[in-house]
Amino acid sequence: MTSVDRSDVASLIDHTLLAPEATNADLDRLCQEGLDLEVAAVCVHPRHVGHVAARLAGQIPVASVVGFPSGAHRGDVKAAEARVAIEDGAREVDMVVSLGAVLDGRWAAVTSEIRAVRAVAPDSVVVKVIVESALLPDEALVRVCEVAVTAGADYVKTSTGFHPSGGATVEAVRLMRATVGPDIGVKASGGIRDATAALAMIDAGASRIGASATAAILDGI
């Protein structure tokens, strides 16, 4: 197991609140927790980016999901959603890829929508591509990661945490890291609720963790 301390792990976590019923009070609490725990970023829905960006005032980056959670949005809609989120203050964008296109092997369509989001995101904005790794056979997981890198992704990400197929696994993270190499980020997300799970993902090659149970994870370090 990789040897890390609490601050090392905190610096890899996107502290996340994606409950559709989240209130401004919930968002304020998320922001304060993110500041107190010194996380990598705070991740919210696009409609909340402006509020959260104002609350954090540049102290921690804001991440926004795009095409969430299904990925079944048109590419131009995902790009428009990303553009608005960036205008509102998002510095990271986590987009859900078209899962049907991946399963069909329609790689030109997958490439096109990722490139559309990348085109509206300045180089300073991190683009992560969510692939729902638990849904995919290994061959498709490898290919979609390759396509994401070619299309300009900075990270590939396992899961939304909302798909019935499941969340992140050590095996998927290991395969994704082997596919993209050392220079592209791998984000493990979905079902990571304690230190044991988080450290296993890091050991497998995750360079970012998506979690809502950040405090519980860090308490276990």
What positions carry a catalytic annotation? 94, 157, 187
Residue 202: count of CB within 10 angstroms of its CB: 21
CB 203, CB 1: distance < 8 Å = yes
Residue type, 159: S
Which of the 8 DSSP states describes residue 164?
Answer: T
| E-assigned strand segments in 102-167 | 126-130, 155-157
Residue 81 DSSP SS3: helix
Q: How far apart are CA 182 and CA 4, in angstroms?
A: 19
Structure tokens, 47: 């409609």
Closest CA to 128 of 80, 184, 52, 88: 184
